[in-house]
């Protein structure tokens, strides 16, 4: 069975990660090394996770209870929980299906005198075109935080030049995973200094905890190999159970971030050593190989399904999402054909404040309910990608697509490749 997403780390990296947990390293040197990944201007800080960095950002902004943090409407639950635990109000901006980007008109409706922060997430490996959204936020004096957790592409994209903050994740399933850690780029030097001062008082993650992550992830790498995953699927199916919960829980347990106390750490020397290794060895050509597989599957699917974010110019297919009518039946049918498929249990459509029901993110909520992730990555032979496309078309034809077909009118044809923009060529990141 093909796992729905490839664990993007090799055995030699895991071995090096294990060694770094017992070999003493110069932490300060490692911090300087990873923080200078894009340049040596000093605008980047290493953090325990994107959520840890986001928490530091909000703590450092002198916000008052009841101030509002605007989100593009689909994000992981943990980001929204941070806002609420700090006494702030999360406010959604619904998405358009074609780009999975916040609607400009809905953003205008969401902004109030209490709006302080805008968080926009690039999703599934697509890079959103955000100039109009950021310009509107800037006009209202709102700090712009660009969530690039799913959009890391090496030195080629250091963050949008109009963002105040850009956040890059190296968590367990990310493109250049270090099993944890993040780089947070901050334009305002005074704000960055306050974030650094706060983090300096945090306890340090122990190398032992990082070692546990390495061991757990090594097990997960074995579990998600084709033969082992197929065996697990058969064992669970024979017992009338779904293996998804057991595997997903173990992935989440590699890096639990369920509360503020679980994320308020400084990264350990071992985590920083893994980040330095992964960043130093990252090659952007790997993204093109992944994107080529994504384009092949997308072409094979034709108009049989709707793919959210299909209208974006840049897409490197971190994962491959599609919208289907009956997710449970579709997942079962795909697994029977050897393609692990699942929904997104850790993501949520951000709820509107009780006193502003008109902002409810109905499009994002509906799309999330209909969304599944299917396998697509360089390790899959072209013949299997083509078979997968055929299987998906057959399943959709059998199950019907009357509900998700309604999305089709909202999704533009994929944008043809354009010349690289200044940002893609390495324009300055947030300063």
**SS3 sequence of 366-391:** HHHHHEEEECCCCCCCHHHHHHHHHH
Q: For the chain, which domains are there? A: 285-410 (3.90.1150.10)
pLDDT at res. 246: 59
DSSP structural state of residue 71 = E
Residue 20: name the closest of 207, 265, 232 by CA. 207
Tell me the pLDDT of the chain (431 aa) as tens digits.
Answer: 898 887 889 999 999 999 999 987 899 999 999 999 999 889 999 999 999 999 999 999 989 999 999 999 998 889 999 999 999 999 999 998 888 899 889 999 999 999 999 999 999 999 999 999 999 999 999 999 999 999 999 998 999 999 999 999 999 889 999 999 999 999 999 999 999 999 999 999 999 999 999 999 898 888 888 888 878 878 877 777 666 655 655 554 555 555 677 899 999 999 999 999 999 999 988 899 999 999 999 999 998 998 998 889 899 999 999 999 999 999 999 999 999 998 876 678 899 999 999 999 988 998 999 999 999 999 999 999 999 999 999 999 999 876 676 665 554 444 333 333 333 333 444 54
Q: Given the DSSP bridges, would you call strands 165-169 and 347-349 parallel, antiparallel or unpaired?
A: unpaired
Q: What is the pTM of this model?
A: 0.88
Residue in the structure block whose two tokens are 């999360």: 90
pLDDT at 98: 86
At 101, give phi and psi (nearest 5°): -115, 155
Q: How far is CA 252 from CA 25, 155, 223, 246, in A?
A: 27, 28, 15, 10
What is the predicted pLDDT for the residue at 397? 92
Q: Hunting for tokens 């330095």 — which residue is that? A: 276
359 Cα distance to chain centroid: 24
């Amino acid at each position: 069975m093909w796992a729905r997403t490839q664990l993007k780390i090799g055995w030699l990296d895991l071995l090096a990660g294990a060694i770094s947990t017992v070999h003493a390293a110069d932490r300060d040197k490692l911090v300087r090394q990873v923080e200078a990944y894009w340049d040596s201007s000093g605008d980047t800080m290493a953090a325990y996770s994107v959520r840890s960095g986001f928490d530091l950002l909000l703590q450092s902004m002198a916000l008052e209870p009841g101030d509002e943090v605007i989100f593009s409407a689909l994000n992981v639950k943990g980001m929204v929980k941070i806002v609420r635990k700090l006494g702030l109000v999360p406010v959604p901006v619904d998405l358009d299906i074609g780009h999975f980007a916040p609607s400009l008109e809905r953003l205008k409706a969401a902004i109030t005198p209490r709006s302080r922060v805008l968080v926009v997430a690039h999703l599934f490996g697509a890079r959103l075109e955000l100039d109009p959204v950021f310009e509107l936020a800037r006009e209202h004096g709102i700090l712009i935080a660009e969530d690039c957790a799913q959009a890391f592409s090496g030195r080629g994209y250091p963050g949008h030049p109009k963002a105040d903050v850009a956040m890059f994740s190296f968590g367990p399933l990310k493109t250049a995973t270090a099993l944890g850690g993040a780089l947070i780029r901050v334009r305002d030097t005074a704000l960055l200094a306050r974030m650094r001062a706060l983090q300096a008082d945090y306890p340090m993650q122990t190398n032992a905890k990082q070692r546990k992550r390495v061991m757990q992830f090594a097990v997960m790498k074995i579990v998600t190999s084709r033969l082992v995953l197929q065996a697990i699927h058969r064992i669970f199916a024979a017992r009338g159970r779904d293996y998804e919960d057991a595997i997903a829980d173990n992935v989440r347990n590699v890096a639990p971030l369920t509360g503020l106390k679980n994320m308020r750490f400084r990264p350990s020397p071992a985590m920083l050593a893994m980040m330095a290794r992964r960043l130093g060895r990252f090659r952007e050509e790997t993204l093109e190989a992944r994107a080529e597989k994504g384009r092949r599957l997308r072409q094979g699917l034709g108009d049989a399904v709707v793919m959210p974010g299909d209208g974006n110019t840049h897409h490197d297919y971190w994962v491959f999402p599609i919208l289907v009518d009956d997710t449970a039946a579709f997942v079962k049918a795909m697994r029977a054909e050897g393609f692990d498929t699942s929904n997104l249990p850790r993501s949520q459509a951000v709820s509107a404040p009780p006193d502003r029901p008109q902002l409810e993110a109905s499009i994002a909520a509906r799309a999330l309910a209909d969304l599944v992730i299917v396998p697509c990555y360089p390790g899959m032979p072209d013949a299997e990608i083509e078979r997968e496309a055929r299987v998906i078309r057959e399943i959709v034809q059998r199950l019907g697509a009357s509900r998700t077909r309604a999305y089709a009118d909202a999704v533009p044809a994929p944008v043809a490749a354009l010349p690289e923009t200044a940002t893609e060529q390495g324009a300055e990141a947030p300063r």
